[in-house]
Amino acid sequence: MNEGRSLFSQLLEHAPHHHFRRCVQRYHGNRGVRTFRCWDQFLSMAFAQLTYRESLRDIEACLGAIPGQLYHLGIRSQVTRSTLADANEKRDWRIYADFAQVLISEARRLYAGEELDLALQQTVYALDSSTIELCVSLFPWARYQKHAAGVKLHTLLDLRGNIPAYICVTSGSHPDRNILDDLEPERGAIYIFDRGYLDFKRLYRLEQAKAIFVTRAKSNFQFVRRYSDPVDRSTGLICDQTVVLKIAATAAKYPVPLRRIRYNDLESGNGYVFLTNEFTLPALTITKLYKARWQIELFFKWIKQHLRIKAFYGRSPNAVRTQIWIATSVYVLVAIVKKRLDLKPDLYTLLQILSVHIFQRTELRQALSGAAYTTPDLPAPNQLQLFNF
């Protein structure tokens, strides 16, 4: 039952508090803290994410306008700009990174039964990175070019439910392929990534772990063809070959055969060359797998548009990472609620509802079960055209 609780407090009930306390204890987050504890910081930043607050002053003004409701939101002390800024600067960002991983594990468990369009039993991951640009003068520590600053958000996305299975925040100059060293390959899983991750020594590590990879070949890829399998050219397939690496130094890094597939997209006319260590799936399925990699591009676009990870409340590395990880926690928490309550609207619609009804005292399922937003069919306006072409 609702019992008069706000949507915000009902939403945060789905976050496991005991796991959060363990994360705080692990990094001594509340040591020497008398009032504004880590949970208060997390709630304040989550409120800012859900209601699209622009700055610390904005957060202070909004929460200060409802002092009688703070306790019911779970915030046990007054939220001031200086206190929140100090917490973001000094409290270890790993508290919130570890808690986000707890939420990610729960979300992946809930979405494990989601169907893939390709009807595959294996877990399918898309790996990519996106640069979050920062102002050079405000974030000098994040400079990676003379006139550019930023951090990279490396993400391994589980395509069942589009839940991030792994996230790492690095400097803007960090090579993408180095992230493969940090991953623990999952036996039988499929990893999809672009040419930025093409490193044969690292690919052989995936091969040895019995994991499957699908990527694209570079234009200067040199190989020796062993044999070819027949293909149906009406589907866009050009060839399906078993190859070995030609250059001795490269072949020493990847000493076993690869599968090379050439494909022309019938819709766009673009040509692609794919490399994989999977020899049993149909060649057309391999091309569709790589096409599914586009989901991670949509994920990055979505979180940049709908979460506060482009404008930051603090300027230190710790503050930036804290905000990114709390934003990730909010995204995953809403995804968990969507699955647990079997809600039909998409995540964008749920976030929009929460942003305007965050203090409403109604049952969470009822509030979030509204129909998804659609553009109404409005009659043509009477305003004349300004230009005629």
- Specify the pLDDT at position 382: 46
- Specify the pLDDT at position 64: 85
Q: Which range marks the domain in which residue 41 is found?
A: 7-96+322-366
Asked if residue 149 is part of any domain, the answer here is no
Count of structural domains, the chain: 1
Q: Is the pLDDT of residue 302 over 60?
A: yes
The residue among 244, 254, 246, 274 whose CA lies nearest residue 262 is 274
Q: Is the pLDDT of residue 4 over 90?
A: no
Residues contacting 312, CB < 8 A, separation 6+: 134, 319, 320, 323
Asked if residue 309 is part of any domain, the answer here is no
Asked if residue 56 is part of any domain, the answer here is yes
- Specify the pLDDT at position 358: 87
Asked if residue 385 is part of any domain, the answer here is no
Asked if residue 107 is part of any domain, the answer here is no
Asked if residue 182 is part of any domain, the answer here is no
Asked if residue 65 is part of any domain, the answer here is yes
223-247 confidence digits (pLDDT tens): 999 999 999 999 999 999 999 999 9
| Strands 212-216 and 190-192, bridge-based pairing | parallel
Lowest mean pLDDT among 102-106, 190-194, 317-321, 375-379: 375-379
Asked if residue 353 is part of any domain, the answer here is yes
What average pLDDT does the structure give for the chain? 89
Q: Is the pLDDT of residue 170 over 50?
A: yes
Tell me what the mean pLDDT of segment 150-157 comes to.
95
Tell me what the mean pLDDT of segment 305-312 comes to.
85
What is the SS3 string spanning 81-118? HHHHHHHHHHCCCHHHHHHHHHHHHHHHHHCCCCCCCC
- Specify the pLDDT at position 203: 96
124-145 confidence digits (pLDDT tens): 999 999 999 999 999 999 999 9
Instruction: Provide φ and ψ at 345, rounded to 5°.
Output: -60, 155
Q: Is the pLDDT of residue 359 over 80?
A: yes
Q: What is the pTM of this model?
A: 0.87
Tell me what the mean pLDDT of segment 371-384 comes to.
45
Q: Determine contact, residues 37/3, Cβ cutoff 8 Å.
A: no
